[in-house]
Structure 1
């Protein structure tokens, strides 16, 4: 669950506690072009105040009007479809004749949102199954992420940090990467055995460990929902993590450093019998080329590249971050 989704559900709970009428909309399907993906949510209070987004604004405006007029069911969930015809798609701002379908549900104690927020607040991945015939929802911890599922009888969604980011090094750049990664839906673990770095880690909603990087990665295991970035400039730490990460199914593996240092790093990795195709997965110099120079800008470039690879958007060689003089000094 990214921070925006948590804000939506928190608003729904807060408004319901205050005695307001509350409707929660969840995107369950899109056809053609659509401005927001499946699983996007919006919550609307009885007076039209809303939190979240399911479109560029036109669908939200219609939902607000329908909530104010009392046109949506007050007891049970219902399906709402926009953009069946090209004219309607144009009216609601859906490009290229797109269609968007939502489940809109009235929030009640049986909706299970308080329990969902409690569990996700602990870092758990949580499944929610909404029964369309009763409006009751079952909430339970689950181990794996899954797509939004709707079979006409129940809506199944998954909430919580479904992706994990391992950062090796607890320096200033790591702080910016960690702070930005949390609202993107990552469970962030920072690993640094060095006393001078790990003792005062300041980023909330993240974990810090003093383990050696390879011990950590072996202990927790890496899967296709995991990203690993090494940011210490210390081969004794970064290389240990990279050996484990490049031999795993992690969707992203990146290392800080100049082109020259990354060439040396690849040569060292070959000494550990890593296959060439595994070494080729290493993103280094890390990050997209956006002219980044300061630690916050470099963090943006790293997370932009991670986001592209998370969504299977090709990142061509030559588009990674190139060094300016400032970056070369930072990466040396």
Structure 2
């Protein structure tokens, strides 16, 4: 499954190259509750085609009507605000008095959008700067701490980053459930299992099955902060090697399946392998939010929920407390 930004830009370029008019709409600011975060994109084609979203649907209907009628962004970029009044918020379905600021931009030529598409397809991050005053745009490097989307002094800067990537070590039933959920959450799913019997049985559409040892796969594949790694084989000979590589990679999330007792033993092994404490502290284990899950799909939901929390910076310190407990046990036993 492709990322939402990739789908939006690909559709936009398709319409432009076919000779149709098109607009790119970007969420630049929200106040109160908002259905879509800042940086969300919507492409609107000449016949009213849509790709992406900026709200729950009601704003899109009104927005398309304005764009097709030439009331907004007819000749250049233009700001548009929805939800200034309570009545308008209720009319457009903006919850809890939310307000939404959009930048609408007419796109008539492929221009730098072709380079943006190429970057997305190659998992490279790139920043596009749009001058609202004159409609000029340019591409800039995207550093690791560049804000995803900002609008200051009539300059809109939007980072188009690579699709989120989830590397699953192990190709069993739980992996299938996680892969299905992860694809719905905009992840490109890579599955690695050096056990030939498990790998041969993998059949989840849209995922990528790779061969090789997990640590080498992670070394090559995990090159940015939009990657996550989870180990599910229950085999320390496979999982520990993968974790050693993943915990010192840029991955935003590294998790391992297992009970609390299994986790304590794993942490001790990683420490004995001279993995730095700072790297060990990044491990999320036992994996998944504690929702009382037992069946494979329930466990997958718990893991998916933790991935969402980690991606949004909303995880509590439960894992750090567990690691601290193990460290204290190791010190007292020494």
* TM-score normalised by structure 1 residue count: 0.77
Deviation at 1:163, TM superposition (A): 4.1
User: What do the CA deviations read for 1:103-130 (whole angstroms, capped 9, x no partner)?
Assistant: 1011211553334223322333333233
Q: Aligned runs of 1:17-166 on 2, under 5 Å?
A: 17-139=17-139, 142=142, 144=144, 146-161=147-162, 163-166=164-167
Please, which runs of 5 or more residues in structure 1 have no aligned partner? 319-332
Question: Would you say the 8 A contact 2:288–2:306 is kept in 1?
Answer: yes
Aligned position for 2:240: 239
1:312–1:62 Cα change, 3 Å = same
1:156–1:204 Cα change, 3 Å = farther
Matched, 1:177 2:178: yes
Aligned position for 2:328: none
Aligned position for 2:302: 301
Deviation at 1:38, TM superposition (A): 0.4
Aligned position for 1:229: 230
Aligned position for 2:323: none
Q: Which stretch shifts more, 194-203 or 156-165?
A: 194-203
Q: Aligned runs of 1:218-297 on 2, under 5 Å?
A: 225-246=226-247, 250-272=251-273, 279=280, 281-290=282-291, 292-297=293-298
User: What do the CA deviations read for 1:33-77 (whole angstroms, capped 9, x no partner)?
Assistant: 222100111222344343322112232222122123220132211
Q: Aligned runs of 1:314-329 on 2, under 5 Å?
A: 314-315=315-316, 317=318
Instruction: Work out the number of aligned pairs and report it.
Output: 318
In 1: Cα distance, 2:198 partner to 2:34 partner: 44
TM-align CA RMSD: 3.5
User: What do the CA deviations read for 1:153-206 (whole angstroms, capped 9, x no partner)?
Assistant: 432212242544333234444354345435534455444444445578666776
1:202–1:157 Cα change, 3 Å = farther
Q: Which stretch shifts more, 160-169 or 197-206?
A: 197-206
In 1: Cα distance, 2:80 partner to 2:121 partner: 30
Question: Would you say the 8 A contact 1:111–1:135 is kept in 2?
Answer: no
Question: Would you say the 8 A contact 1:160–1:185 is kept in 2?
Answer: no
* TM-score normalised by structure 2 residue count: 0.77
Deviation at 1:79, TM superposition (A): 1.0
In 1: Cα distance, 2:260 partner to 2:208 partner: 30
Q: Which stretch shifts more, 83-92 or 219-228?
A: 219-228
Question: Would you say the 8 A contact 2:191–2:208 is kept in 1?
Answer: yes
Question: Would you say the 8 A contact 1:112–1:139 is kept in 2?
Answer: yes
Name the SS for the 2:283 alignment partner.
coil
Deviation at 1:235, TM superposition (A): 0.2
In 2: Cα distance, 1:203 partner to 1:142 partner: 33
In 1: Cα distance, 2:124 partner to 2:170 partner: 25
Aligned position for 1:310: 311
